[in-house]
Amino acid sequence: MKQVAEDLGLPQVLGRTRSGKLALFLILARVAHRGSRLSAVRWAQQHAVSEVLGLSDFDEDDLYATLDTLAQRQERLEQRLYRRYVARRGSPPLLFLYDVTSDLSIFD
């Protein structure tokens, strides 16, 4: 899963900071473990998340703070992901899926 995220350019777009790594964790946890933020923290403690993503200990408050940061940066992140896609593919996507069920689209 981490390799797919890297192929998509998510770490580059989100950044290599602690906040960027937590954002990447939120995305990966959403795919692998569909639960609350607290359950995602517990899930991370049972797996090699810290080692794989290079994260030190974190809790659900850290994840909620990261969601706040993502919400503030959402438009810029979406634009960077889109530009990256167009640069790699040479043309805009023919089909663009957008999650209309939340305020944070792909990040929630």
In the chain, what are the domain boundaries?
2-107
Alpha helices in the chain (DSSP H): 2-8, 10-14, 18-32, 37-45, 49-53, 60-89
Q: Residue 56, Cβ neighbours under 10 Å: how many? A: 8
Is residue 86 helix, strand or coil?
helix
pTM of the predicted model, to two decimals? 0.78
Rounded to whole angstroms, the Cα distance separating 72 from 3 reads: 26
Q: Looking at residue 103, what is its pLDDT? A: 52
Rounded to whole angstroms, the Cα distance separating 26 from 33 reads: 10
Chain-wide mean pLDDT for the chain? 86
| Predicted confidence (pLDDT) at residue 105 exceeds the cutoff of 50 | no
Is 63 exposed, middle or buried (CB count within 10 Å of its CB: 0-12, 13-18, 19+)?
buried
Going by pLDDT thresholds of 50, 70 and 90, the confidence category of residue 94 is confident
Going by pLDDT thresholds of 50, 70 and 90, the confidence category of residue 108 is very low
pLDDT tens string 46-60: 988 888 999 988 999
In the chain, pLDDT over 90 holds for what percent of residues? 50
Tell me which residue has tokens 């503030």. 72
